[in-house]
Amino acid sequence: MSFIEVTKQLLSGFGTTCLLFILTILFALPLGLIICFGSMTRFKPLRYLTRAFVWIIRGTPLMLQLFVVFYVPGMLFDSPIFAQLENGRFIAALIAFVINYGCYFSEIYRGGIESISKGQYEACAVLGMTKTQTFFHVVLPQVVKRIIPPMSNEIITLVKDTSLARVIAVIDIIFAAEMILSLRALLWPLFYAGAFYLVFNGVLTLLFGYVEKRLDYYKV
């Protein structure tokens, strides 16, 4: 098996990896904010419910969550809901990743929001701003700036975590490399796959560095 052939197969797996990564970010970022509001609400039942949910999701292995999302409907209710879909396995993986990362993001958001001093809220109230205005115009921009380092940490972890989707046989780049290994007895494609992650994360690191710099315009 030539280098070009291996590259081709790995690239098609890497496409799945990238798609899973991008879609997870796209859905988990807003979901995290919603979960964050849930865990900060003054309505106690909802707050406890949300915090219990975050505890379960953060407290159990992502691999198990993938299993639960994908297999449990078929095992308990006799209806493999992802079987009819063309990309059922991918969608199941995406759901598990979005929920999992939504929970992690929610705690990062919460840390960011709670770091904003009470004085700012009072100042907004004095200026006659509504709660919504206060949040979106004053609090959120500062939160975004403050949470970029922990977020970039989590996002880089996500890039590598996507390879976990292979436990439900989503053919990502690592699974593609594993299949080459078991078919052709070639070990090097697995390490070659590592280079893809390294480059991808390198680009992300540069991107986050750039974003941090651009948001440097106001000091808190």
Partner 1 sequence: MKKKIVAVVLVIALMACCLAVFASCSKKQTDAEYILGKGTLVCGVTLYEPMNYADDEGEMTGFDTEFAEAVCAKLGIKAKFQVIKWSSKEIELNSKYIDCIWNGFTVNEERKQQVSFTQSYLNNTQCVVIKSSNAANFTNAEACAGMRAAAEAGSAGESAAKGLTAEANVTSVAAQITALTEVTSGTADFAVVDVILANSMVGKGAYSDLQIATGIQLEAEEYAVGFRKGSDMVEKVNKVIDELLADGTLLTIAQKYGVDGQLITK
Measured at the alpha carbon of residue 18, what is the angle toward residues 205 and 56, in degrees to the nearest 5?
Answer: 85
Q: Is 2 in the site for partner 1 (CB under 8 A)?
A: no
Q: Is 166 in the site for partner 1 (CB under 8 A)?
A: yes
- What length is written for the chain? 220
d(CA 108, CA 38): 14
Letters for 177-206 (x = contact with partner 1 by CB under 8 A, - = none) are -xx-xxxxxxxx------------------
Q: Say if CB 190 and CB 184 are below 8 A apart.
A: no
Q: Which is nearer to partner 1, 142 or 163 (CB)?
A: 163
Tokens in use for 211? 């974003």
Tokens in use for 64? 């198990």
Q: Is 79 in the site for partner 1 (CB under 8 A)?
A: yes
Q: Is 83 in the site for partner 1 (CB under 8 A)?
A: yes
Q: Which is nearer to partner 1, 54 or 69 (CB)?
A: 69
Rounded to 10 degrees, the C-alpha dihedral 133/136/139/144 comes to -170
Q: Is 90 in the site for partner 1 (CB under 8 A)?
A: no
Interface residue list for partner 1 (CB under 8 A): 43-46, 49, 67, 70-80, 82-83, 166-169, 171, 178-179, 181-188
